[in-house]
Amino acid sequence: MASYVVRRVAQALVVLLGVSVVVFALVHLVPGDPIRVSMGTRFNPDAYEALRARAGFDLPLPVQYGRYLANAAAGDLGVSFRSGDPVTTTLLGRLPATLSLAGSALLVALLIAVPLGIFSAIRSGSKLDYVATVFSQAGISLPDFWMAILLILLFSGVLGWLPPSGYVSPLADPIGWLSHLVLPAITVGVVSGSILTRFVRSSVLESLGEDYTRTARSKGLHERTVVTRHVLRNALVPIITVTGLQLAYLLGGVIIVEVIFAWPGLGQLALLAVQSRDYPVLQGTVLLVAVVFLLINLIVDLLYAAADPRIRYK
Amino acid sequence: MLARWLALFVVLLLGLAACGGGEPVDVDGDESADAGGDEVAGGTLIAAISGEPDQLDPHQTSAYASFQVLENVYDTLVQPTEELEFEPALATEWQVSDDQLTWTFTLREGVSFHDGSDFTADDVAFSYNRIIDEELANAYRFTSVTEVRAADDMTVEIEVDRPTPNLLANIGAFKGMSIVPEEFDDEMASSPVGTGPFQFESHSEGQSIELSANPEYWGDGPSLDGVTFRFISEGTVALTNLQGGEAHWTDNIPPQQIEQLSDDDSLVLESVPSTDYWYFAANQTREPFDKPEVRQALAWAIDREAVTSAAKFDAATVNQTAIPEGSAFYTDYAPYEHDPDRGRELLKEAGVEDLEVELMVTDEYPETVQAAQVLETQWGEVGISTNIRTLDFATWLDEQGEGNFDVFMLGWLGNIDPDDYYYAQHHSEGGFNFHGYANSEVDDLLDQAREETEDDARKELYDEAVQMIVDEASYVYLYNPDVVQAWVPEVEGYTVRSDRAIRFENVALNQ
């Protein structure tokens, strides 16, 4: 198991190196440059050339990449063109809000998807199954920005129960943190939950038709025991996979929802970085998201072994 | 099993979220979280602004969001009044030598920076020389300046190599020309130290900036304890914050909601015409747009009222010249009207058939995208087919710089002195003349106007130049938008300014 993890980490480093090359090339090859953007309409050719030279943009791209990589290996991801702050500090500063939203949204998603998926599979073809299908279809189809605005108008505008936007640190004010978290978590959670519901349903449905389920039932086991002991256990592997992917996706930042709720997460940061062509921040964000994906994939693989005793890693 | 697994997951997530809170976020920034409701005298005003400042170095930033904050932190030597005339700020008086080549400024006594250090002539010399020597974006405002020196502690002398009638506008029109302390360092680029009514406290990235009152401020005020700028990019959400008492003031108001809001008694909504202008320009380095007839055809074909209404829902005034009526340099000249027949004739005269126009707009400014659709229809009526190209702003600017466009639409904001915008955009050597307009008569007029110290004579020179610019359709000016801002009735003493400067020094919260 330990050697398996080491091997996977080594593979991950190679993947990261590849990601860094691709990202570096992409961000530098798209039209637009950060100096031009920062000058906006008040463009002035002399100042532009001077600032470009100062930022090192007159050097060949491979040289710029070499410098970036050397610094990155030492943990220095550069300095934001936009704010002048170190990228690592900027990224770390975005983690609390990102983790809060991703974690709570996944929680909402699981609270919806697991019961709904299981019951609609067990009672497949029933009214409940029908309702669940409609719900998950609606959740996938409704644009999240629209749902966000509706929730804000209802719960903040009309009812006045919850703050419409913003973020509060849980350490400074746990109640405030929670009240600011509810609406964005529901918005993101409903979309994720709708996707997950379908996977839970199909996975449980498949497991229900397996031989071991028939055997368990013919042993005379209580239906409840059949479902919890045999069906769910076997249905877990695909559910873990999709849940992991959803979590990785959420940790990468939910751009539109973050922008609407003025939520200081990674998605909002990435959007700003794209708009202002803030190369170092954009590269740093993508690398961080890549690390998160790799890490979650590894954890998901290890969880398979826990869910299914037949899977062992050497 | 499932229940156990779920429970474990929940605990794990909560743990993650809680640990997350321990990361270096700015905890100070959260004190205002509940400041919405319980102000006593003074109080902290919460302003919802649409963007986040990129940086807080006044000499380096060009972002409006930065200037919204810095307006309240820094001062300039002179500053524009609400009527956009210049009044004393850090300088109390000034003289120009008889040969017009030396400006002498007497500085205000007893002013100190937020860090306690005294404000002196050395700070002024340092600030201006920094902009000049480091070739920062505003260095062009000093093109005629040969030397800035501290004659004594309280006197600054500026030498110019030609008469510079707009020197006051160049050094005082906006906070990009702020006086920073001589000890300016990298740290002050993110935590500014000025002489203004409010001092910088903290910046929580992605969330807010907090300012507190400067008790040593040289002017009246401030009567607030502080100001918090919250970044809320979605207009509907900013308004919900305002209506729910989570914010006191906002300028993030979707144009389509203005009418509905003006009936809302729980808010104060005010608008004034701005000196901003929006326009389109055809690329004169490309055929057939090098022919004035073709550009004029584009101008005759359009109905400005319809374009303006689509772009701004009538929160704007149409104009055929740059700045609005009532401004000191307004030119009363409007030769065009909506006349598609005239447009077709002009195209025929130019020998152009089946003209195809690529119109470059940017979603950074949604009004350009909306206006483009009306332009497409109206140009269609004179037989021009339009291909609308909507780009993100970074790409847009790049394409503009490379000259890769037929026609683009954009605006210029916060215009005070005509040398600033006419020279940059219509002089053949102008820094923003990307559309390649070159007319030696216009060049001469703009060169003369630059140095003309007599106000009336200067105005006449610009009037003459503007008429040529409009006649030859170098730019086709469209409209001047209104500055629209809203606040809760508890906010007292706030004034909407036509230059979009946001000043809270004389504002009180009455609760």
Substitution target in A30, A88, A99, A278 with the highest count of B β-carbons within 10 Å is A99
The per-residue pLDDT for range A208-251, each reduced to its tens digit, is: 888 888 888 888 888 888 888 888 888 888 888 888 888 888 88
| Contact across the interface for A83 and B190, Cβ inside 8 Å | yes
State residue A142's pLDDT score. Answer: 86
State residue B278's pLDDT score. Answer: 95
Tell me if chain A has a CB within 8 Å of the CB of B21: yes
User: Which residues on A lie below 8 Å from B20 (Cβ)?
Assistant: 95-100, 170
Substitution target in A30, A49, A57, A95 with the highest count of B β-carbons within 10 Å is A95
The per-residue pLDDT for range A86-119, each reduced to its tens digit, is: 899 999 989 899 989 999 999 999 999 988 988 8
Helix (H) or strand (E) holding B435: none
Q: Is residue B39 pLDDT above 70, yes or no?
A: no
Residue of B503, B374, B389 lying closest to B75 (CA atoms): B503
Decide: pTM greater than 0.90.
no
Q: Is residue B102 pLDDT above 90, yes or no?
A: yes
The per-residue pLDDT for range B205-248, each reduced to its tens digit, is: 899 999 999 999 999 879 999 999 999 999 999 999 999 889 99
Helix (H) or strand (E) holding B374: helix B366-380
CB of A253 within 8 A of CB of A267?
yes
Tell me if chain A has a CB within 8 Å of the CB of B368: no
Beta bridge partners of A97: none
CB of B104 within 8 A of CB of B149?
no
- Using a pLDDT cut of 70, give the percent of chain A over it: 99
> What band does B41 get if pLDDT is binned at 50, 70 and 90?
low
HEC assignment per residue over B120-181 = CHHHHHHHHHHHHHCCCHHHHHHCCEEEEEEEECCEEEEEECCCCCCHHHHHHCCHHHCCCC
| Mean per-residue pLDDT, B284-290 | 93
From the CA of B229, how many Å to the nearest CA of chain A? 12
Give the CATH superfamily of A94-278.
Answer: MetI-like (1.10.3720.10)
CB-hemisphere CA count at 13 Å for B448? 17
| Contact across the interface for A43 and B401, Cβ inside 8 Å | yes
Q: Write out the two tokens for A94.
A: 């975005």
Nearest to B205 among A93, A104, A229 (CB): A93
Q: For residue B53, what is the nearest residue in chain A, using CA coordinates?
A: A83
> What band does B32 get if pLDDT is binned at 50, 70 and 90?
very low
CA dist B454 and B121 (Å) reads 29
| Mean per-residue pLDDT, B314-326 | 91
The per-residue pLDDT for range A148-167, each reduced to its tens digit, is: 999 999 998 888 899 989 89
Q: Is residue B34 pLDDT above 90, yes or no?
A: no
Give me chain A's average pLDDT, please. Answer: 87
| Mean per-residue pLDDT, B315-330 | 91
Tell me, what's the ipTM?
0.82
* Residue, of B113 and A76, whose pLDDT is higher: B113
The per-residue pLDDT for range B396-416, each reduced to its tens digit, is: 988 998 899 999 999 998 888
Nearest to A99 among B17, B140, B205 (CB): B17
> What band does B314 get if pLDDT is binned at 50, 70 and 90?
confident
A·B CB contacts under 8 A: 217
State residue B10's pLDDT score. Answer: 38
CA dist B500 and B483 (Å) reads 7
| Mean per-residue pLDDT, B127-145 | 91
CB-hemisphere CA count at 13 Å for B450? 21
Residue of B303, B310, B311, B246 lying closest to B276 (CA atoms): B311
The per-residue pLDDT for range A300-311, each reduced to its tens digit, is: 888 888 777 777
Q: How would DSSP label each residue in B28-52?
A: GGGGGGGTTT---SS-EEEEEESS-
State residue B406's pLDDT score. Answer: 96
The per-residue pLDDT for range A6-64, each reduced to its tens digit, is: 888 888 889 889 998 998 888 888 888 888 887 777 677 777 888 788 778 888 888 88
User: Which residues on B lie below 8 Å from A97 (Cβ)?
Assistant: 20, 25, 206
CA dist B398 and B376 (Å) reads 23
State residue B501's pLDDT score. Answer: 94
| Mean per-residue pLDDT, A128-146 | 88
The per-residue pLDDT for range B17-26, each reduced to its tens digit, is: 333 333 333 3
State residue A238's pLDDT score. Answer: 83
Q: Is residue B125 pLDDT above 60, yes or no?
A: yes
> What band does B38 get if pLDDT is binned at 50, 70 and 90?
very low
State residue B142's pLDDT score. Answer: 94
State residue A1's pLDDT score. Answer: 72
Beta bridge partners of B158: B103, B148
Highest-scoring range by mean pLDDT, A63-67, A131-135, A293-297, B180-184? B180-184
The per-residue pLDDT for range B376-397, each reduced to its tens digit, is: 999 999 999 999 999 988 889 8
Q: Write out the two tokens for B506.
A: 């004389």
State residue B250's pLDDT score. Answer: 96
Residue of B369, B356, B378 lying closest to B300 (CA atoms): B378
